[in-house]
Amino acid sequence: MTAAPPAIALREVHKSFGATKIIRGVSLAVPRGQRHAIIGPNGAGKTTLFNLISGRLATTSGTIELNGVPVDGLPPHKINRLGLARSFQITSLFHRLSVFENLRCALLWSRGYKYSFWHLLGRQHALNAEVERWLERLGLEDRRGVPAGLLSYAEQRALEIGVTIAGGAKVVLLDEPTSGMNRGEAERAVELISEITRGKTLIMVEHDMNVVFGLAEIVTVLVYGQIIASDVPARIRANPAVQEAYLGTKAA
Amino acid sequence: MSAPEAQIGIAERRSTRLPTILRGGWPWLVVLAIAILLPWLFFDWTKGRHSGFVLSLMSQMGLMIVFALSYNMQMGQAGLLSFGHAIFLGLGGYFTIHAMNAIDAGALWLPVELLPVIGGLAGVVFAIVIGYIVTKQRGTAYAMITLGVGELVSAAALMFNGFFGGEGGVTANRVLPTSIFGLGYSAGIQVYYLILAWTAIAVALMLLLTQVPIGRMANACRDNSERAQFVGYDPRLVRFYQVALSGLFAGIAGALYAINYEIVTFDAVNAVMSANALLMTFIGGVGVFWGPMVGAVLVTLLQSWVSLLSNSWLVYVGTLFIVMVIYAPGGIAGLIMAHRPFWEARRLSALILPYLRIVPPALVAVLGFVGLVELCTSATIGSHQGKALQLFHHEIDTSSPQAWVIAAALLLGGLLVTRYQSRVFATTWSTLTAETAQGATRQ
Amino acid sequence: MEVFLVTLLNGLVYGMLLFMLASGLTLIFSMMGVLNFAHASIYMIGAYLAYELSRHLDFWAALVIAPILCGLIGAAIEMYGLRKVHRNGHLAELLFTFGLAFIIEKAVQMIWGLVAVPYRVPSALDFSLFTIYGTTFPAYRAFMLLISALMFVAIWLLLTRTRIGLIIQAALVHPDMVGALGHNVPRVFTIVFAGGSALAGLAGVIGGNYLVTEPAMAFTMGPIVFVVVVFGGLGSLEGCFIASLIIGLVQTFAVVLDVSLADLLARLGIVVTATTPFAEILTVRLPRVGALLPFVLLVLILLFKPRGLLGTRDT
């Protein structure tokens, strides 16, 4: 029996902007259901990698597969429909729409509404009930009518995660989900992420090591566009190459 | 909560659901009632006749309301700035007027009351064809390509006489034998009620279209095209469908145009008409559904009424437009809605005095501005045409400095006082906003 | 052959005039993201100012003073108008310039009337420079070419040899980065806007008497200049130059080539009569369609190469 294809498979992916090489040959396989973190110093290319996987950028060379289906070159909405969702480092919401509307929009495509102009949204009881459930899970029931642009930062990050996952994508990419949060907020966010992504494949870019080591099963370290290590958190912590990349060479 | 109490809760919710629709919709019914009854206010009881001017004005307002709302489906709802929207109005008008002639000649049977269907069909078909091309772009490129296509179509309207009738346009007679109600539509009041009926239908449909998936996703793509992609939508297709729908209603407006004026020329399809849509929609307010309706009424009023009094009505519209772009980009509707939190907190009365302090000097400044513009126009264009400037039947000598000095003084003085008062007003406004917000959170 | 040469020269003259207008607009658009609808209005103001100055002083004074005045007007618009609207977004800026164009046209009508003013070529330049195949080539057109060429060289020198020019070049392609590097971007914006307006004014001085000076000239010229800017592409003055020449030549040749699609089809053996479908479209003659061709080009370029000929950025 053949094994299920990995959720995400990158093979020899290169990305250059003009003459500048950002991603220099990355190969990575993330099996289904795994919780995977990508860490690395600033400028390593983590967000670029996300952009490549999610279709925001095209690869210069190399292939990317989602559940065995090649996706490089596809526009982002097609990749999303194949089951991949991502959040953004800088919150990306529909700022003039209310919290409720944001979540509802995130559900529309996956619930089959497509470009319909004959379904009155007020009457879609199943859809609206589901939005209510999401509001509760995110802790945003009291803010449902507030335009997303007016929420507090932490509320926006929570909504961002909600909008990313509500559509039911099985592969979720979170780009620095706890950035800008204090300890308490980050802990709550981690709880939320951990509960919401149960059974899904999660790939996370993070700088907060507590979050990484708390959530991730496998950690990949990206430095200057190349993977220098990919292992369980404990061994990554002890890896000398990783320590050097972050801290410089050990004092003799 | 005990079972009976829970039951009462459910019953209360159910019983409030029905009236809510009516409760939420009553302003629309009031407006409709006003629209139906208003012409009778101007009815000349001694002669037993309606005021032709009022009927013509209100008919024009009706079709412009539909046009402006259709434009806002692109501008306010989808974030698409178009400089060629008149294409759909004009083509809808041309097809309708040809249909009218065909009915007259007996070649086509269609009830007069259903003529706007022809206009709508023409509008939507061309919106699909043209929309498919132009929606490849968005933002400034979209504005540019609609400008280009608009110029192409209006130039074609001048060049190709067969369909467009050249410079003279195409005329038709709306007194046709195919009315469902057996009406002749020669009387202005009948035309008005026909236009009003279709306006009401179009407004209702466009309002409903804001509550459907494509309408919501158009808003979403306007706010954040990228995030829309990452919830599964192709922003290009969303734009395309929205443009197609907006073309449908513009076409209906075009048909009403043809019925109202009984002539369609390239004026219906050219850049000036497209600019008109932009002006009406923006001045009225793009962020609120009924904003363009207010804008259409106001601009039509300025156009028809002020233009009788002055040649320079376009200067006033242009200045109003610029002032709004700088100080009130939400338009008139935006200004009104900004008062909503105060209304809901019942603190609106706190603004009465501040308004009383700022409105008079502003009016004085406007008076001075109007005076200067009129003097200027009269001195140059007016003297060309041999017309003298009249104020309340009092002729004003434009060559003497008196009038100029007075007007300039009014303008400058008014502006200075307004500027001072506006600072006071702004402080009052922000204090009131803070108090209202605090009050809301305390509750 | 003679027709070709003369038309070529005329096309070049018109193309260079377009470039003078479009270069300023490209700079403004590329750097500030503002599609300045009022740019052609400043061109109009330049022409009218030149007319007045020629009447009271002489043409040469107008040639110097009018562009300077237009530059000052541009600076004022940027500092007191655009900056206020900037916080409301690009759309608001575009609408502001749109409203401004509106008002300027009305103001011009109010001050100078509805009819074209007799702004004439100065008598000092009103002679025939040379004669080709029996057609005279007026000295004034050579003068226009000279001024355009001088202006082109001046811009090129400014952009490549001066510090401010380097900053402008950088800001053309990466405006945000330039600000992040610590340059006084608002001041650069004002300078670019004023410079572009001065160029537009200069174009008005030399073009107003070549073409016509009337209140509608802004709204006739404006869209064509937009086409040039979009056709040439954002962030590229070279593209703007090429586009100006292409469109100038296309429009000029179109007026001279009295052919229609029907003629073309006739060469292929297909005869178009009054009853052929689309006969009207097929028999329309090129000169009549001439004014349309820039827009056809605009639609085509936006469909197939939306960045323009040599554009470096998306709009």
Nearest to A121 among B211, B220, B229 (CB): B211
Per the structure, how many domains does chain A have?
A: 1
Distance of residue B221 Cα from the nearest chain A Cα, in angstroms: 8
Task: Indicate if B259 and B381 belong to the same structural domain.
Answer: no
- CB atoms inside a 10 Å sphere around CB A158: 25
Domain range spanning residue B197?
Answer: 42-289
Contacting residues of C for B381, CB less than 8 Å apart = 109-110, 113-114
Express each pLDDT in C91-126 by its tens digit.
788 889 988 998 898 888 878 878 888 877 777 777
Give backbone dihedrals phi and psi of C211, rounded to 5 degrees, phi first. -90, -120
Distance of residue A55 Cα from the nearest chain B Cα, in angstroms: 10
Q: Which of C36, C39, C90, C106 to mutate: most B Cβ within 10 Å?
A: C106
Domain range spanning residue A140?
Answer: 8-247
Q: A246 Cβ partners below 8 Å, 6+ apart?
A: A41
Which positions 147-166 of A are in contact with B (Cβ < 8 Å)?
Answer: 163-164
Cα dihedral across residues C89, C91, C93, C99: positive or negative: negative
Task: Indicate if B61 and B137 belong to the same structural domain.
Answer: yes
Per the structure, how many domains does chain B have?
A: 2
| Strands C135-138 vs C128-132: parallel, antiparallel or unpaired | antiparallel
Distance of residue C92 Cα from the nearest chain B Cα, in angstroms: 6
Q: C312 in a domain, yes or no?
A: no
Q: Tell me which chain B residue has its CA closest to the CA of residue A173.
A: B230
- Residue B321, judged by CB atoms within 10 A of its CB (0-12, 13-18, 19+), counts as buried
Task: Indicate if B254 and B353 belong to the same structural domain.
Answer: no
Give the 3-state secondary structure of residue A66. Answer: strand
Distance of residue C40 Cα from the nearest chain B Cα, in angstroms: 15
Task: Indicate if B227 and B98 belong to the same structural domain.
Answer: yes
Q: What token pair was written down for A226?
A: 């190349």
Q: B88 in a domain, yes or no?
A: yes
A222 forms beta bridges with: A227
Q: A3 in a domain, yes or no?
A: no
Contacting residues of B for A120, CB less than 8 Å apart = 208, 211-212
Give backbone dihedrals phi and psi of A202, rounded to 5 degrees, phi first. -120, 125
Nearest to C306 among B137, B152, B318 (CB): B137
Question: Do A and C touch, counting CB pairs below 8 Å (3 needed)?
Answer: no
Q: Does residue A179 carry a pLDDT above 50?
A: yes
Average pLDDT over residues A193-220: 88
B161/C99 touch (CB, cutoff 8 Å), yes or no: no
C111/B376 touch (CB, cutoff 8 Å), yes or no: yes
Q: What token pair was written down for C113?
A: 């009337």
pLDDT for B6: 47
Nearest to B257 by CA among B307, B217, B199: B199
Q: What token pair was written down for C42?
A: 């400043």
Give backbone dihedrals phi and psi of B175, rounded to 5 degrees, phi first. -80, 95
Q: Tell me which chain C residue has its CA closest to the CA of residue B384.
A: C113
Give the CATH number, domain containing residue A143. Answer: 3.40.50.300
Domain range spanning residue C178?
Answer: 2-304
| C-alpha angle B350-B356-B359 in degrees, rounded to nearest 5 | 125
How big is chain C, counted in residues?
A: 315
Judge whether A224 is closer than 8 Å to chain B, CB to CB.
no
Q: What token pair was written down for A181?
A: 């949060």
Q: How many angstroms separate the CA atoms of A236 and B46, rounded? A: 97
Cα dihedral across residues B364, B369, B373, B378: positive or negative: positive
Predicted TM-score (pTM) of this structure: 0.89
Which positions 381-420 of B are in contact with A (Cβ < 8 Å)?
Answer: none
B232/A101 touch (CB, cutoff 8 Å), yes or no: no
Nearest to B162 among C90, C280, C292 (CB): C280
HSE (side-chain half, CA atoms, 13 Å) at C176: 0
Q: B237 in a domain, yes or no?
A: yes
Judge whether B272 is closer than 8 Å to chain C, CB to CB.
no
Nearest to A93 among B224, B232, B245 (CB): B224
Distance of residue A74 Cα from the nearest chain B Cα, in angstroms: 12
Q: C310 in a domain, yes or no?
A: no
- CB atoms inside a 10 Å sphere around CB C5: 13
Q: For residues B192 and B125, is the Cβ–Cβ distance under 8 A?
A: no
pLDDT for A219: 92
Q: pLDDT tens for chain B, 443 residues: list them.
A: 455 544 444 444 444 444 444 456 788 889 999 999 888 888 777 777 778 888 889 999 999 999 999 999 999 999 999 999 999 999 999 999 999 999 988 888 888 899 999 999 999 999 999 999 899 888 888 888 899 899 889 888 888 888 888 788 899 888 888 888 878 788 888 899 999 999 999 999 999 999 999 999 999 999 999 999 999 999 999 999 999 999 999 999 999 999 999 999 989 999 889 999 999 999 999 999 999 999 999 999 888 877 777 777 788 888 888 888 888 888 999 999 988 888 888 888 888 888 888 888 888 888 888 888 888 777 776 666 656 666 666 666 666 778 788 888 888 888 888 888 888 888 888 888 888 877 766 55
Task: Indicate if B164 and B276 belong to the same structural domain.
Answer: yes
Nearest to B230 among A85, A108, A116 (CB): A85
Q: A252 in a domain, yes or no?
A: no
A97/B216 touch (CB, cutoff 8 Å), yes or no: yes
- What interface predicted TM-score (ipTM) does this complex get? 0.90
Spell out the alpha helix ranges (H) of chain A.
46-54, 76-81, 99-108, 125-138, 153-166, 183-196, 209-215, 233-238, 240-247
Average pLDDT over residues A47-64: 90
- CB atoms inside a 10 Å sphere around CB B200: 18
User: Residue A222 to residues A49, A164, A180, A231: CA-CA distances in angstroms?
Assistant: 10, 24, 22, 12
Give the CATH number, domain containing residue C203. Answer: 1.10.3470
Per the structure, how many domains does chain C have?
A: 1
Contacting residues of B for A108, CB less than 8 Å apart = 213, 216-217, 231-233
Distance of residue A120 Cα from the nearest chain B Cα, in angstroms: 5
User: Residue C69 to residues A158, C32, C38, C43, C74: CA-CA distances in angstroms?
Assistant: 55, 22, 15, 12, 9
Q: Tell me which chain A residue has its CA closest to the CA of residue B221.
A: A94
B312/C106 touch (CB, cutoff 8 Å), yes or no: yes
Q: For residues A148 and A93, is the Cβ–Cβ distance under 8 A?
A: yes
| C-alpha angle B16-B17-B18 in degrees, rounded to nearest 5 | 100
Q: How many angstroms separate the CA atoms of A131 and A141, rounded? A: 10
Q: What token pair was written down for A243?
A: 């320590």
Q: C102 in a domain, yes or no?
A: yes
| Helices C217-232 and C237-256, packing angle to 10 deg | 120
Judge whether B262 is closer than 8 Å to chain C, CB to CB.
no
- Residue A183, judged by CB atoms within 10 A of its CB (0-12, 13-18, 19+), counts as exposed
Q: What token pair was written down for C162?
A: 């001066």
Q: C313 in a domain, yes or no?
A: no
C132 forms beta bridges with: C135
Q: For residues C172 and C235, is the Cβ–Cβ distance under 8 A?
A: yes
How big is chain B, counted in residues?
A: 443
Q: B109 in a domain, yes or no?
A: yes
Q: What token pair was written down for B76?
A: 């306010």
- The DSSP result for B64-97, as a single string, is HHHHHHHHHHHHHHH----S-THHHHHHHHHHHH
Q: A168 in a domain, yes or no?
A: yes
Place of tokens 């566009």: A225
C306/B325 touch (CB, cutoff 8 Å), yes or no: no
Regions of chain C with pLDDT less than 50:
none
Task: Indicate if B258 and B347 belong to the same structural domain.
Answer: no
